[in-house]
Amino acid sequence: MFREKYLKQRNALLKEIENLIAEGKTEDADAKMKEVETLDEKWENAKKATANLTALKGSTKVTDIEDKSVDVGDAKAIDTIQKPVPVNDDKMYETAWAKTMQGKKLDANEQAVFDKVNAEFQNTYTHDTGNTPTLIPKNVVAGIWKRAEEMYPLLADVKKYNVKGTLTINKHTAIAAGDAAWYDESTSTADEQNTFGQLTLTGCELAKAITVTWKLRSMATEDFIPYIKNELGERVGVALGTAIAVGKGKPGENETFKPEPLGIETALLAEDGNPQVVTYNPDASASASDSLTYDRFTTAIGKIHSSYLAGTAIYANNATIWGRLANLRDSTGRPLFVPDLTSGGVGRMWGFEVKADAGVSNDTVIIGNPNKGYVLNTNEPMSLATEEHVKARTVDYAAYTIVDGGVLDNKAFALIKKSS
């Protein structure tokens, strides 16, 4: 498959995906994304096959077996001809990238792959910086995200896209008139009048840095990659995990904070009348009418649209789970919280999985279906820049990416929080 044909097909598919997302057809968009993944896999296989063929063509020297033979009694031992080793560009780039980050010298093949990948990256994304970042390998990025998602289940559960630039999604907000109704044969049906809004994700710059001593940087390359995954995963996880819960969104005219994804708590509290919010008094006794009770919890669950219940979970930080939820009782005195570590969370309530998420505010509970109600888009893939500090004998590794997120439908969530 020629590169031009591959890029043309890929760009056409990405355009289709953007249109489907804009129309709210997320399931169709997911199917198209699988087509992109299949196309990418075919392209990678074609590149590897081409590289292997080139290696074979370069190994056409004929070995004269008679001349190379060695007398061993009545027998002859002949030299073996080495078979070309298949080239894996992804793996080679990962090694080349890690060695570059460590200040180690690359061989000719590694340098060629490293330059090619980053030339394409720099041609696609422009960075106004004197310290040009390099694209982090796919496997390393996957490891960073995995570590971040382990710490923040909300981040793991939200719907994720990788659409370059601005992502705009139409979202259905209400049926103003003409909802489904019963009719007789002689009555014409009313036209449905829908109200739509838009979720526009323009992108927020996220940068996180770690400082490593020269001595530590000299570790073996195979140890360096897991180290970077873990360190950056924890730092990126804090930023993204917290933003999905309590992110401020975009600053208004008189606001000075930096743009960040809009958090679920922020979105629900900003809605007129707070229809998805239930409050309680954290200082009230268990018997008080304004305490966190069975009734308050069921009221919150009742605010979630029934179409989102399959896939709904309960999210709270560790202190809230064990200090609040684990102490809740029903009218007969039985605990509502059932510890259960087998499913990935820490327990269950009303059949819903309870997940410990450090990004959720203290004394706050988010109930909902983030895979259906929240969208996170990576507008620019993650890259890494380095800066040397000779006197201190340290090096800074700064990860940079552009991401954005927002609530697609408030009715996919309910919020329980302490009263003001």
Query: DSSP assignment of 262-301, as one string?
Result: BPHHHHHHHSTT-TTEEEE-TTS-TTSTTS--HHHHHHHH
Q: Which residue has the tokens 């900003």?
A: 270
Q: Count CA atoms within 13 Å of residue 399 on its CB side.
A: 24
Amino acid sitting at position 314 = I
Query: Residue 280 in contact with residue 420, Cβ under 8 Å?
Result: no
**What distances in angstroms separate CA 67 from CA 58, 61, 78, 82, 189, one per listed residue?**
22, 14, 9, 18, 93
Helix axes 89-101, 138-151, angle to 10 degrees: 70
Q: Please give the residue that has the higher pLDDT: either 410 or 60.
A: 410
Lowest mean pLDDT: which of 74-83, 91-100, 145-154? 74-83
pLDDT value for 410: 94
Question: What is the C-alpha separation between 171 and 197, in angstroms, rounded?
Answer: 5
Helix axes 26-57, 89-101, angle to 10 degrees: 90
pLDDT value for 81: 43
Q: How many Cβ atoms from other residues are within 10 Å of residue 316's Cβ?
A: 26
Q: Which residues does residue 109 pair with via DSSP β-bridges, in sequence order? A: none
Q: Which residues does residue 199 pair with via DSSP β-bridges, in sequence order? A: 169
Q: Which residue has the tokens 């029903």?
A: 330
Amino acid sitting at position 143 = G
Distance of CA 250 to the CA centre of its chain: 20
pLDDT value for 42: 81
pLDDT at 373 over 90: yes
Q: How many Cβ atoms from other residues are within 10 Å of residue 115's Cβ?
A: 12
Q: How many helices (H) and strands (E) does the chain have?
A: 13, 16
Amino acid sitting at position 315 = Y
Q: What mean pLDDT, rounded, does the chain reach?
A: 81
Whose CA is closest to 300, among 327, 325, 333, 319? 325
How large is the average pLDDT for residues 160-178? 72
How large is the average pLDDT for residues 144-161? 91
In this structure, what are the phi and psi dihedrals at residue 30, rounded to the nearest 5 degrees?
-60, -40
Query: Residue 101 in contact with residue 110, Cβ under 8 Å?
Result: no
Question: What is the C-alpha separation between 299 and 292, in angstroms, rounded?
Answer: 11
Cα Rg of the chain (Å, integer): 28
Q: Please give the residue that has the higher pLDDT: either 359 or 31.
A: 359
Which of the four pLDDT bands, split at 50, 70 and 90, describes residue 63?
very low
Question: What is the C-alpha separation between 314 and 368, in angstroms, rounded?
Answer: 7
Q: Which residue has the tokens 């360096």?
A: 224
Q: Is 165 left (phi over 0), alpha (psi -120 to 50) or beta?
A: left
**What distances in angstroms separate CA 146 from CA 157, 280, 298, one per listed residue?**
12, 35, 33
pLDDT at 127 over 70: no
Q: Which residues does residue 246 pair with via DSSP β-bridges, in sequence order? A: none
Helix axes 3-22, 26-57, angle to 10 degrees: 170
Question: What is the C-alpha separation between 301 and 291, in angstroms, rounded?
Answer: 17
Coil, strand, or helix at residue 386? strand
* pLDDT single digits (tens) 278-327: 999 988 887 787 889 999 999 999 999 999 999 999 999 999 999 999 99
Question: What is the C-alpha separation between 130 and 332, in angstroms, rounded?
Answer: 67
